[in-house]
Amino acid sequence: MISKKVILTGSFGVGKTSLFEQFLYSKFSQKYLTTIGVKVDKKVINVNGKELSLIIWDIAGEVKQDKVPNSYFLGTSAIIYVFDVTRKSTYEELDQDITHLKKMLPNGITAIVGNKIDLVDESFLQELKGNIPVPWDILTSAKTGENVEELFLNIGSQLLNQNT
Amino acid sequence: MEIQKSNIDPGMDEPSKLAAQHQLSDDALLFEELKETLLHEDREALRELQNILNQPEKLSQKMSPVLEKRLEDFKEAFPNDYRAILEKIISEKLANSKEELLEAIYPIMGKLIKKYIALQFDLLRERMAMRNQNSIWYKTKTRIRAFFTGTKESDIILTDLMDVEIKNVFVIQKNSGLLIAAAINDAELHTDLVAGMMTAIKSFAEDAFDRKGAELEVITYDNYQLLLENYYSYYFVVALTGTISSHQDALIHEKMNNFAARHLNRKKVKDGQFSEAISKKLKDYFIDNPKV
Ligand SMILES: Nc1nc2c(ncn2[C@@H]2O[C@H](COP(=O)(O)OP(=O)(O)OP(=O)(O)O)[C@@H](O)[C@H]2O)c(=O)[nH]1
Ligand SMILES: [Mg+2]
């Protein structure tokens, strides 16, 4: 079976660990336990009948991506960059963060994820769309589970396509 | 900006131009005569030259010495030119296969270093034997054991210190932390996660102390010890229980080096996929034959 390293990164408190837990164990906690260092876990997914083992690194949040230790990016096949749709500070410098990530992983897959959409309404998102420096790829809620599976399966299928 | 052209007045009207032309043809004739007189000899030589060029035998007669000289020069210069080109090809080849070379060299380098450590250990062994001479009780005990087992006394002292057991062995791709092979005793161990976490801890420690080129070599917790041996694109982890002596440490590292040199290479590790075959070999070599 093919294994791929995927990292979850972004500012602190945006819901990286929550997305990770929702995807791996279908659970959600209101409690905020900040991640220290890294937590690694694995999930085998099935994309069009093909199995793929995702080794997911849930990294401690950093306000700026260039603060993330470079070695965490090494050997990574995909980066999931998470921001919090309710907190401007987590996306106002998105362009700089994405530039940095592209530099770290020129040929890798990057997904920009806006999380916590359960806290806002459609008109809010419309407005956000006009204000955000770089468009998002997907909007999720780790709380309700909305689009969480889709996010990871989509990454998985891109990784499998890349592999063939 | 555009460049303006053709608005420069040539400065002459039509009739005076014609007159000038007429004058020129007279002058040209005169000039031609003058050339013939002055350049007569040169023109003869030129005709002779044309003659040579048009007749192959004559040409080769003239050219042969020149060509031969050129060929001689070439023969002399050839090895130099040739060497330069060959060296360029070789160094390009080497540069391209640098990673493969490094992969092959790491275990050998490790072996050399470990040989040195083993030598140091022999000195230590002697010192230890000396120290234990003072303890009468210990001395008698080991004497008796040595008598019955035929083992050297100093070796018994050593083995007493080493109730070491290799529990788990991992081969992990360096950057990604993907598991290449594992041999485990603890069945409930999540090998993929251990591999990932180990790599994260290792990266963290190496980054935190910002020691360029320095790599984490050992992690200890409780009576568990994790010995790491770093290679170019992968690393080894041997997890063991018990108190390890420096000699045994050296031997385990040697075991890792031997295994790496024999069973691992860049091709096998490159894509970071798990290998049952290598895992089985790991089990044979480290767990089923725990003797180090
Ligand atoms: N309402 C809502 N709350 C969320 C959602 N995702 C995360 N949270 C909450 O946000 C807080 C932070 O979530 P974490 O998942 O720990 O955030 P993190 O990005 O891992 O944070 P660090 O580890 O510090 O970088 C927690 O209190 C979560 O319960 C979401 O989709 N909706
Ligand atoms: Mg977290």
Which residues contact residue A51 at a Cβ distance below 8 angstroms, ignoring those fewer than 6 apart?
A1, A2, A44, A45
Model pLDDT for residues B227-275, shown as the tens digit of each residue = 999 888 899 999 888 777 777 888 888 889 889 988 887 777 777 788 9
Using DSSP, state whether A128 is helix, strand or coil.
helix
Range of the domain at A42: 2-163
Mean predicted lDDT score pLDDT of chain B: 73
Specify whether B204 is located in the same domain as B281. Answer: yes
Range of the domain at B45: 13-54
Specify whether B116 is located in the same domain as B38. Answer: no
Average pLDDT rounded to a whole number, residues B62-66: 78
| Residue B87 pLDDT > 90 | no
Greater pLDDT, B57 or B105: B57
Specify whether B40 is located in the same domain as B125. Answer: no
- Closest residue by Cα to residue A90 from A55, A136, A130: A136
Q: How many structural domains comprise chain A?
A: 1
Specify whether B127 is located in the same domain as B206. Answer: yes
Residue B168 lies in a domain: yes
Average pLDDT rounded to a whole number, residues A157-162: 91
A70 neighbourhood in chain B, CB within 8 Å: 207
Residue B130 is part of a domain; what is its CATH number? 3.30.450.70
How large is the ipTM?
Answer: 0.79
Q: Output the residue whose Cα is nearest ligand 1's atom 30.
A: A116
Q: Are residues A75 and B175, on separate chains, in Cβ contact within 8 Å?
A: yes
Specify whether B50 is located in the same domain as B193. Answer: no
Residue B79 lies in a domain: no
Greater pLDDT, B68 or A55: A55
Residue B292 lies in a domain: no
Residue B59 lies in a domain: no
Report the separation in Å between the CA atom of A59 and the middle of ligand 2, taken as the mean of its atom positions.
7
Q: How many structural domains comprise chain B?
A: 2
Query: Range with the lowest mean pLDDT among A136-140, A143-147, B198-202?
Result: B198-202
Q: In this structure, what token pair is assigned to residue B96?
A: 């391209």
Residue A37 is part of a domain; what is its CATH number? 3.40.50.300
Q: Which residue of A has its CA nearest to B203?
A: A71
Whether A133 contacts chain B with CB within 8 A = no
Report if pTM > 0.80. Answer: no
Q: Output the residue whose Cα is nearest ligand 1's atom 1.
A: A116
Whether A40 contacts chain B with CB within 8 A = yes
Which residues contact residue B106 at a Cβ distance below 8 angstroms, ignoring those fewer than 6 apart?
B230, B231, B232, B260
**B interface test, pick of A1, A4, A24, A40 with most B CB neighbours within 10 Å:** A40
Residue of A30, A32, A38, A148 to test ligand 1 pocket, by largest number of atoms within 8 Å of CB:
A32
A69 neighbourhood in chain B, CB within 8 Å: 203-204, 207
Specify whether B167 is located in the same domain as B241. Answer: yes
